[in-house]
Amino acid sequence: MTTESTSSTTRATFVDQLVVPGDVVVDLSTMTNQTIKLGGGLRQDGDAISVVKAGKFRFSRPNKYWVESSHKRYVPCVEDTVLGIVVDSKADNFLVDIKGPSLAFLPVLAFEGGTRRNIPKFEVGSLLYVRVVTANPRMNPELSCMDATGKAAEFGILKDGYMFECSTGLSRMLLSLPTCPVLESLGKKLSFEIAVGLNGRVWVNADSPSTVIIVSNAIMNSESLSGVQQKIMAEKLLQRIQE
């Protein structure tokens, strides 16, 4: 058996399993010519990738690993997409609440084509869909309204709609692939927009207020349900609309 297959087997035994701080889930010394991305809950010590918070060890192709746990407080991680609320504006940046230990800052130039002449104007309370570009325990996180290529993509202000808070575990479930059962079921019958932040915030918008309510309630009720239970719950809610 090769070292690479041994490493793959070791990682596979942890994927989707509960892990606790101290567990070594990846051994980099057995991996050749591979680059991996570490998400929340993991730390690198030399060649060992170890767990720093309890939860489920997750893997998404091609190369990202993280520990999924359900918390109310969000711990910022680079490349996370989050929903932030503007709490203040300064000359060079906006101060944004992302449910983390400290406020994050969004530079006024962190927008596609951003210059001093076209600085965006956000009122206090504005809801933004943003990306975390730096995250250090000793510093305020830095945000951006651009993707890695410098394009605005889907980032920016979210107007109208309804925003509610949930656990970080539910947020990750909503963003999982394939599409989580509750969103798949709702999407077959209803037309709506949704933005999910890994910091435990969800924004829903639709032409009909009743649709916003149905979708929001279905999502909030889905966290403790299995995939089959989510579908049944969503179908019952949809039946009430048709009655």
Q: Can you state the percent helix, strand and coil of the chain, rounding each to 5?
A: 25, 30, 45
What confidence score (pLDDT) does residue 72 get?
A: 65
Distance CA 164, CA 52 (A): 28
pLDDT at 1: 30
Cα–Cα distance for residue pair 60/15, rounded to 1 Å: 10
DSSP letter at 59? Answer: E
Question: Quick one: pLDDT at residue 113?
Answer: 81
Q: What pLDDT sits at residue 110?
A: 92
Pairing of strands 156-157, 201-205: unpaired
- Tell me what pLDDT residue 71 has: 63
- Phi and psi angles of residue 75, each rounded to the nearest 5 degrees, phi first: -105, 110
For residues 108 and 148, give the distance between their C-alpha atoms in angstroms, rounded to a whole number. Answer: 17
Angle of helix 227-242 relative to helix 209-220, nearest 10 degrees, comes to 160
For residue 121, the model assigns a pLDDT of 87
Amino acid of residue 108: V
The DSSP result for 215-243, as a single string, is HHHHHHT-TTS-HHHHHHHHHHHHHHHH-
For 171, phi then psi, to 5°, come to -60, -45
Evaluate the CA torsion angle 42, 45, 46, 47 in order and state its sign. negative
pLDDT one digit per residue (tens) for the chain, 243 residues: 333 444 454 555 778 788 888 889 888 887 777 778 887 788 888 888 998 887 778 887 778 888 877 666 788 989 999 999 999 998 899 999 999 989 999 999 999 887 777 788 899 999 999 999 999 878 899 999 999 888 988 999 999 999 999 988 889 889 988 889 999 999 999 999 999 999 999 999 999 999 999 999 999 999 888 889 999 999 988 887 765
Instruction: Report pLDDT for 47.
Output: 85
pLDDT score at 6? 41
